[in-house]
Amino acid sequence: MSDSIQSSVLVIVGASHAGSLLAVQARKEGWQGRIVLIGAESHLPYHRPPLSKAVLAGERSLESILLRPELLYSNNQIELRLGERVVSLDRADKCVQLASGEVLHYDKLALCTGATPRRLPVAEGLPGVYTLRQADDVTAIRQLMAAGKRAVVIGGGYIGLEVAAVMTEQGMQVTVAEAAERLLQRVASPTISDYFRLLHESRGVKVMTHASVTEIEREQETLVLTFADGTVLEADLVIVGIGVEPETALAAEAGLEIGNGIVVDGYMGTSDPDIVAAGDCAQFPSARYGRCLRLESVQNALDQARIAAANLCGQRVVYDSLPWFWSDQYDCKLQSAGLRLEHEHEVVRGNPAAVGSEGLSVFYMRGDRMIAADCVNRAKEFMACKRLIAERLPVNLAALADESLLPEHFEQR
Ligand SMILES: Cc1cc2nc3c(=O)[nH]c(=O)nc-3n(C[C@H](O)[C@H](O)[C@H](O)COP(=O)(O)OP(=O)(O)OC[C@H]3O[C@@H](n4cnc5c(N)ncnc54)[C@H](O)[C@@H]3O)c2cc1C
């Protein structure tokens, strides 16, 4: 073990999926000096995905979704600095400054600053209009939720659709307004987009596509939304879910290389040898896909944190995990593996017109190799696909669409 990790100070900015795990893993990997984990949110690090699912539905409390108990941090001598924002980074003096004015020296720094919701200029500052990223957002939104109320969700991505599902199940009247020609356009195939549109419409959600909101006004308690085609909608609550931007401000001001996120190499190292980055904020070179990527998922945040921690502690490991993701809407669990980049054809297993518990899978193929899969309520198929994609195994094409054959027959033998 090198001398540096015996007595050096590791400062981690951002205390969520990536930052929290990076701290714990660095200790496990042998970091013996101080570890300071700084987070702008005042809560102990928590699982973010349930915010738009069980927490919004009121089925889970914040206390029940903590990533780790407080004791785990103290037992590992991880100093938690919660409710504190890092406002500047001085790379020459190797220190960060907190909003309070306090300056902390580091030997190694990890930026796990995540992402922040994209803003909709016409919605800025209006009461009753929310984005959903943090636990405090959910607390505020829940105060306005009640059966019979009207909600407009701007943006038909995963978070918007999860919010729409929860609000519909709570008896609210929900409209999803998506500017693109289909739901989930950035992340899913047309087959999956159509499936989720049908699912939401079958539950009573009004789905608008090609719908660009041009104005929002507040008339007493009612929000009045005007769209580019002249449509006018009234709402008691508006949720803006139009994507996120990587949180790169600190890194950019300190002169680190920035692309679509903080630029890192395969080892999660930034353009400064003493600074790593991981999670939603990081743009990395993917050997698997032969291009630079920035992903927004728990898998990516956790796997990158593990790699960054190992490398900080003297190892030399490259990040090359298979991306995977999930989304829960009503009784449907979508699980996705791999990225649907340049696939040649798709195979559908199940009936896309029969939405509900039976689910379906869509496999994205290049020749006889599967490069990605979307599976709805089909956990066994998802697990089989993950292996086929990760190990680039040849696939038995005929078996994919044949529901009489179990997933173990997917592999060509
Ligand atoms: C509502 C919702 C539902 C989601 N559902 C899913 C899902 O079902 N499946 C899935 O895989 N992914 C899901 N995601 C995405 C997933 O939560 C993110 O990919 C993951 O949280 C990324 O973790 P991270 O640690 O990189 O960043 P974040 O979770 O964004 O955390 C970054 C933290 O850094 C803090 N921070 C930033 N700047 C500073 C600073 N200067 N000083 C101090 N602290 C700072 C922020 O306050 C924040 O707490 C969801 C996200 C949201 C918002």
Number of structural domains the chain divides into: 3
Domain assignment present for 208: yes
> Does 124 lie in the same domain as 110?
no
The single-letter DSSP state of residue 16 is: S
Which amino acid, residue 357? S
Residues 162 and 263 in one domain: no
Instruction: Reply yes or no on whether the pLDDT at 370 is more than 90.
Output: yes
Q: Are residues 12 and 96 in the same domain?
A: yes
Distance CA 242, CA 176 (A): 12
Q: Is 113 in the pocket of ligand 1 (CB under 6 A)?
A: yes
Q: Is residue 144 part of a domain?
A: yes
Predicted confidence band at 7 (pLDDT cuts at 50, 70, 90)? Answer: confident
In a domain, 264, yes or no: yes
Domain boundary at 188, 207, 242, which? Answer: 242
The ligand 1 atom at the shortest distance from the C-alpha of residue 279 is: 26
Distance from the CA of 131 to the center of ligand 1, in angstroms?
13
162-183 pLDDT per residue, tens: 999 999 999 999 999 999 999 9
Segment 233-287, tens digit of pLDDT: 999 999 999 999 999 999 999 999 999 999 999 999 999 999 999 999 999 999 9
Residues 140 and 237 in one domain: yes
303 lines ligand 1 (CB under 6 A): no
Q: What is the pLDDT of residues 123-150, one digit of tens each?
A: 999 999 999 999 999 999 999 999 999 9
Q: Which residues pair with 188 in a beta bridge?
A: none
265 and 223 inside one domain: no
Q: Are residues 56 and 13 in the same domain?
A: yes
| Same domain membership, residue 100 and residue 8 | yes
Q: Is residue 136 part of a domain?
A: yes
Kindly report the average pLDDT of the chain as a whole number.
Answer: 96
With CA atoms as reference, report the closest residue to 159 among 62, 231, 232, 55.
55
The pLDDT of residue 96 is 98
Same-domain pairing of 23 and 91: yes
State whether the beta carbon of 206 lies less than 6 angstroms from ligand 1: no
Judge whether 318 lies within some domain.
Answer: no
pLDDT of residue 2: 53
In percent, the amount of the chain with pLDDT more than 90 equals 96
Residue 322 inside a domain? The answer is no
13 pocket-lining for ligand 1 (C-beta < 6 Å): yes
Q: What confidence score (pLDDT) does residue 6 get?
A: 65
Asked if residue 125 and residue 76 are part of one domain, the reply reads no
Same domain, 252 and 218: no
What's the domain range around 355?
Answer: 331-409
Of 217, 242, 267, the residue that ends a domain is 242
* pLDDT (tens digit per residue) in 198-232: 999 999 999 999 999 999 999 999 999 999 999 99
- Copy the structure tokens of residue 155: 């943006």
Residue pair 52/163 in contact (Cβ under 8 Å)? The answer is yes
Q: Is 172 left (phi over 0), alpha (psi -120 to 50) or beta?
A: beta
**For residue 1, what pLDDT is reported?**
47
- Distance between CA atoms of residues 315 and 29, nearest Å: 9
The response to whether residue 49 sits with its C-beta less than 6 Å from ligand 1 reads: yes
Tell me the per-residue pLDDT of 83-122, one tens digit each, with 9 for 90 and over.
Answer: 999 999 999 999 999 999 999 999 999 999 999 999 999 9
Q: Where are the alpha helices (DSSP H) in 29-126?
A: 70-75
Residues 366 and 392 in one domain: yes
Q: State the pLDDT at residue 357.
A: 80
In angstroms, the CA 238 to CA 174 distance is 10
Residue 163 and residue 196 in one domain: yes
Length of the chain: 413
> Which residue owns the Cα nearest ligand 1 atom 6?
49
Domain with residue 216: its CATH number is 3.50.50.60
pLDDT exceeding 70 applies to what percent of the chain?
Answer: 99
> Which of 192, 212, 242 is the last residue before a domain boundary?
242
pLDDT at 5: 59
What is the tens place of the pLDDT at every residue in 340-357? 998 999 999 999 999 878
Query: Could you tell me the distance, in angstroms and rounded to a whole number, from the CA of residue 99 to the centre of ligand 1?
Result: 20
Residue nearest to atom 5 of ligand 1 (CA): 49
Residue 321 lies in a domain: no
**Domain presence at residue 326:** no
The predicted model gives 189-202 an average pLDDT of 97
pLDDT tens for each residue of 56-93: 999 999 999 999 999 999 999 999 999 999 999 999 99
The CATH number of the domain holding residue 386 is: 3.30.390.30
